[in-house]
Amino acid sequence: MPSSRTPATPPAEPESPPRRAVLRRPAAPAAPAAPSTATQRALAALQGRAEPAPRPPARPARPPARGNVWRADAAPPAAPRGAVQAAAGRPAGPGAASAPARPPVPVKPAAAADGSARLNKRMAELGLCSRREADDWIAQGWVKVNGAVAAMGLQVLPTDRIEVDKRAQGRQEQQVTILLHKPVGYVSGQAEDGHTPAVALINPRTHWRDDPGRMRFSPPQLRGLAPAGRLDIDSVGLLVLTQDGRVARQLIGEDSTVDKEYLVRVQYGEVATDVQAVFPSAQLARLCHGLELDGQPLKRAKVEWQNPEQLRFVLTEGKKRQIRRMCELVGLKVVGLKRIRIGRVTLGNLPVGQWRYLLPHEKF
């Protein structure tokens, strides 16, 4: 049964009847200031409701999306979380935890669409000099392009006319190229591990007395004299040292096609005599083509038996210790290696440890 008791009147205001509180939604979209905690409790008591939980502050309205648009006066858009983590070297998500960060791929600059190139590069391509020599000549004011003195770093077109001063040509004619019969125990390049560089053998005492050339040695000929190719410390034979950048480019440039010939004495396992009789012909074919060094396939080579214990190699490339490493891949051990020819220039009768000048009519 419903109770017959009359509810007690609020003690706060006995002289007036209770008024109903009405909550109105604000007309404007902007939210008014939030009521105080005391006011919320009073309203709840008048309506017979439980005390409301404190309302969190309203978030500012988000502007409507307008696609991938960024105004110059606005802040730049934030990068995605995955991109920021990837840039910091951290995985972008749970699934990427095991994936290692990939190193950036180097981008090779594209060639100019109009065929232009730096002046020093074009001069080297034309065979006028090396890039270093070109820079020196340009700095001296000895190079003109279309009749005007060229500046360093100038870009030129294939149709531009390049002129070189006679003073540069005269200096180039004084440059020497030397042929050395390198002995064992000398390194072809800079001194390393206490071993003497081959250029130390270039002096008047080691000049071949039967040199057919008419040049005489002078100390300035050692200035800038550098090996055009390598011959390892355990090998002997023909080594070219030159001051002429044109010769260096011809022999060791990226586009060089000059071949080199070697005589290589080998051993197959314990067999040191008549190696040809026991060495498989299929392995000899691999020496000619099919081997890789440093993860790259080697260019085709010419390899054949010179005698039962000696192979003849003809190569058009010169990786570090290439022949020795090639032989190791097919089970051969090199016990002696001698270079006898570079292009059309041969070692001939040049004694070990002596040198001569490259003659004017000799071409690689």
Active site residues: 232
Residues 6 or more apart in contact with residue 163 via CB below 8 angstroms: 143, 144, 145, 147
| Tokens 């022999």, located at residue | 251
Interatomic CA distance for residues 135 and 299, integer angstroms: 33
φ/ψ of residue 157, rounded to 5: -100, 160
The Cα 305–Cα 265 span in angstroms is 10
Which tokens is 220 given?
């300035």
Backbone angles phi, psi at 313, to 5 degrees: -110, 140
Q: What sign does the dihedral 41-47-48-52 (CA atoms) show?
A: negative
Dihedrals phi, psi of 179, to nearest 5 degrees: -105, 125
Distance CA 167, CA 276 (A): 57
Residue 356 one-letter amino acid: R
* Distance separating alpha carbons of residues 135 and 142, to the nearest angstrom: 10
The rounded distance, in Å, linking the Cα atoms of 302 and 355 is 28
CA pair distance 19, 49, nearest whole angstrom: 16
CA distance 140 to 219: 24
Give the C-alpha separation, 249 to 123, whole Å. 12
**Interatomic CA distance for residues 262 and 302, integer angstroms:** 10
Beta bridge partners of 334: 266
